[in-house]
Structure 1
């Protein structure tokens, strides 16, 4: 979990969710990246994965406003 230069919070993890506020499920567990504001409202979220299991790890904000993170995957398809 990291704060960006606007004090929003970005964090990564894993999800199996197919409903609610989480969308874009690929199968198995997927990497989940969420950015929330100081009130806890979701600014954006992204689910990454393939047909097998993926897990998000450490995430960090870059100086140019982007993000870099570690993750693991067992998939050979999808967007990982």
Structure 2
């Protein structure tokens, strides 16, 4: 993964399956656990961003975007 000083935070809309979001929420709740009042204090939106970032780093997103053949036809 790139050095954190070389990373940019980009806010985008991405399409993910509802089941992926459900899995993130369930796993985040399991990891953090409930507080004394039974409430879960986890920022699931931040967790979604973290999971997508990790996936992109582990699956060489940088290499993927460097290949022009992976780009959609911009003339459409």
Higher RCO (CA-CA < 8 Å; seq separation 6+): 1
Q: TM-score, normalised by structure 2?
A: 0.23
**Structure richer in strand, relative to its length:** 1
Q: TM-score, normalised by structure 1?
A: 0.22
